[in-house]
Amino acid sequence: MNWYEKLNQYFPVDEMKSRVHMETLLTDKEDIYIKDEGPKHVLMYVEFENFIFVDYLFVSKEARGEGLGRKLLSQLKEKNKVILLEVEPVNYDDSDSEKRLKFYAREEFKHATRIGYSRRSLATGENTILEILYWSPTDQDEYAIYEAMKWTYENIHTYKDEHFYGDSYDASHEVLVFNDEDKKNMLKPY
C-alpha cells in the first residue's frame, strides 16, 4: 500500500487533501513540504524558518505501542521550532480520537484555547471543527500560533484549491479566529 492509501484509509475524507494536491505540494514546495515514509508510518509536514506544521502523522496499528510516533515527533522537536498540528475534538464513537489526545498530551503539546478553527470540506461540503495543538521549545504566545496557522492555511491548505477541487476554500479570516477568552482545554483531563 502506498503512502497516500495509508493516509486515506486512516484520516476522514473531510480532512484529506487530494493525492494530486499533496503531490503538487511535494513538487512545487519541495523545499518546505516534506514526506517521511517508512513501512509503518507516514509523516507529512511543512517546515518553515520558525515553525513546523504536521499535516499528517500516521502510524500503523501494528506499530502502535512501539514508540514510533514519539520517535518521529522527537526528530521534529530536535529542530527546536514550534510544532503545530490540527486534531478533531474527542469523538467517543472513535476510540482513536481520545488515544491521539492522550498521546499529544504525553508529548507535551498544548491546546491553543484561544484559536477557533472551522473549515468547510470541499470534498463533503461539511464544516469540520478542528483544534490546534502546539509544542514550543519556548513559551510561545498563542497569537504567534494563530499567525503561523493562518499562514499555513493560506499557503498549504488552500494552495491551488480551485484548480484541484473546482472550488475555493473559505478565506482564512472566516476559518480561523483569535478569541479574547480561552475555551475549555481539551488536553486537561490527560
pTM: 0.94
Which percentage of the chain shows pLDDT scores above 70?
96
Under the banding of pLDDT at 50, 70 and 90, the label for residue 100 is confident
Query: What is 3-178's CATH number?
Result: 3.40.630.30
Q: What's the whole-number mean pLDDT along residues 33-38? A: 97
Give the largest Cα separation in the chain, rounded. 45
For residue 127, list its beta bridge partners. Answer: 120
Per residue in 130-189, pLDDT (tens digit) is 999 999 999 899 999 999 999 999 999 999 999 999 999 999 999 999 999 999 998 887
Under the banding of pLDDT at 50, 70 and 90, the label for residue 92 is low
For 67, the grid coordinates are 514508540
Question: Quick one: pLDDT at residue 12?
Answer: 87
Average pLDDT of every residue of the chain: 93
pLDDT surpasses 60 at 116? yes
CA 108 to chain centre: 16
Under the banding of pLDDT at 50, 70 and 90, the label for residue 63 is confident
Rounded CA separation 110/153 (Å)? 20
Question: Domain locations in the chain?
Answer: 3-178
Residue the block writes with cell 507535551: 108
Question: Quick one: pLDDT at residue 145?
Answer: 98
Q: What's the whole-number mean pLDDT along residues 46-55? A: 97
